């Protein structure tokens, strides 16, 4: 049972984590505009999808020693609250939130930055603080679904930081379908390399499975998850409106590239865990 002071320190770390992880978004113009241009139903849908992810992440990473579903839900809510608070503070400092703006706009701006901020809050304990007596569990024990889940969270997180920007669709407009093809293949290979070869705190995958095993079970599935995450974000930010399927797919391929980085590195960022 940890004391109040320790919990307060944990909150402080979480606050810093939230600011750190959401900072690129705090300073992105399109993100501010999303506060009033994003359709409410889509914002709600995005939050509805990301909330269970935060609960899952709390389970895998551990905000504090928690037991049972209720604690993970509470951790997720706490992370959201911290992220919303951090977002409010920073956006006020930047003048993005100002008196006189309609409530809808203010709430929208804060809501959009809470997901990455909440991830930062949940993970902060791991990165900044010392782990408080968690058993250093064997990462090789993570189940297949947990690994896929982590890839998903990583993909969503990194992609979210660039998804609202104009540069993202501009890249898609500037490249030919053949370049998009090369980009898709390169992204898959990048994911494979990240999962199989790069040694982060112990190359979990390489020790266990063959090259083609990792490729087939994790890289292909992971890339599909990255594309899925990209499509979700594109839809949520209204980039799919009135656009042909082939074009949307090119957007998704462009957005999946940073998503792949998130998916591939997620396992090392969310390292120690207890299952």
Instruction: Compute CA distances 172 → 4, 56, 178, 248, 250, whole Å.
Output: 50, 33, 11, 9, 6
Q: How many CB atoms lie within 10 A of CB 107?
A: 15
Both structure tokens of 26: 């705090």
Residue 250 interacts with other proteins (CB under 8 A): yes or no: yes
Number of residues located near other proteins, criterion CB under 8 A: 46
- Rounded CA-CA distance 52/56 in Å is 6
Comparing CA positions, the residue from 22, 44, 24 lying closest to residue 123 is 22
The answer to the question of residue 217 lying near other proteins (CB under 8 A) is: yes
In the window 166-185, what residues touch other proteins (CB under 8 A)?
166, 169-170, 173-174, 176-178, 180-181, 184-185
Residue numbers 46-65 binding other proteins by CB under 8 A: none
Distance CA 237, CA 161 (A): 12
**Minimum gap (Å) between residue 18 Cβ and other proteins:** 32
Cβ 259 vs Cβ 229: under 8 Å: yes
- Cβ proximity to other proteins: between 118 and 215 the closer is 215
Q: Which stretch binds other proteins (CB under 8 A): 21-29, 78-86, 154-162, 245-253?
A: 245-253
Shorter beta-carbon distance to other proteins: residue 4 or 244: 244
Interacting stretch for other proteins, rule CB under 8 A, among 44-52, 55-63, 92-100, 209-217? Answer: 209-217
Tell me the two tokens of residue 133: 């007596």
Sole residue written with tokens 């590239």: 257
Q: Is 36 an interacting residue with respect to other proteins (CB under 8 A)? A: no
Is 88 in a helix, a strand, or coil? helix
User: Contact between 211 and other proteins (CB under 8 A)?
Assistant: no
**CA–CA separation, 211 vs 248, rounded Å?**
31
Q: Is the dihedral of CA 17, 18, 20, 22 positive or negative?
A: positive
**Of 94, 144, 197, 211, the one binding other proteins by CB under 8 A:** 144
Q: Which stretch binds other proteins (CB under 8 A): 94-102, 109-117, 138-146, 259-267?
A: 138-146
Using CB under 8 A as the binding rule, whether residue 208 contacts other proteins is answered as yes
Binding site for other proteins (CB under 8 A): 138, 140-141, 144-145, 148, 166, 169-170, 173-174, 176-178, 180-181, 184-185, 188, 202, 207-210, 213, 216-225, 227, 241-247, 249-250, 253
């Amino acid at each position: 049972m940890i004391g109040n002071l320790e919990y307060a320190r944990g909150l402080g770390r979480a606050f810093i984590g939230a600011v750190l992880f959401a900072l690129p978004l705090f300073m992105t113009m399109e993100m501010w505009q999303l506060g009033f241009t994003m359709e409410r139903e889509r914002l709600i849908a995005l939050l509805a999808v990301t909330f269970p992810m935060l609960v899952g992440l709390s389970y895998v990473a551990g905000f504090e020693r928690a037991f049972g579903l209720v604690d993970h839900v509470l951790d997720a809510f706490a992370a959201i609250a911290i992220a919303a608070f951090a977002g409010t503070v920073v956006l006020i400092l930047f003048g993005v939130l100002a008196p006189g703006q309609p409530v809808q706009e203010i709430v929208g701006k804060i809501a959009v930055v809470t997901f990455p901020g909440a991830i930062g809050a949940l993970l902060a304990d791991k990165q900044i603080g010392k782990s408080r007596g968690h058993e250093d569990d064997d990462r090789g024990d993570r189940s297949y679904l947990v690994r896929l889940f982590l890839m998903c969270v990583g993909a969503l997180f990194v992609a979210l930081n660039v998804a609202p920007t104009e540069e993202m669709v501009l890249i898609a407009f500037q490249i030919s379908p053949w370049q998009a093809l090369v980009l898709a293949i390169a992204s898959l290979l990048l994911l494979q390399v990240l999962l199989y070869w790069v040694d982060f705190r112990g190359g979990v995958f390489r020790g266990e499975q063959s090259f083609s095993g990792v490729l087939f079970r994790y890289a292909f599935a992971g890339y599909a998850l990255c594309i899925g995450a990209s499509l979700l974000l594109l839809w949520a930010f209204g980039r799919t409106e009135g656009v042909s399927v082939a074009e949307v797919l090119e957007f998704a391929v462009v957005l999946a590239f940073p998503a792949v980085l998130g998916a591939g590195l997620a396992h090392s960022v969310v390292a120690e865990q207890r299952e």
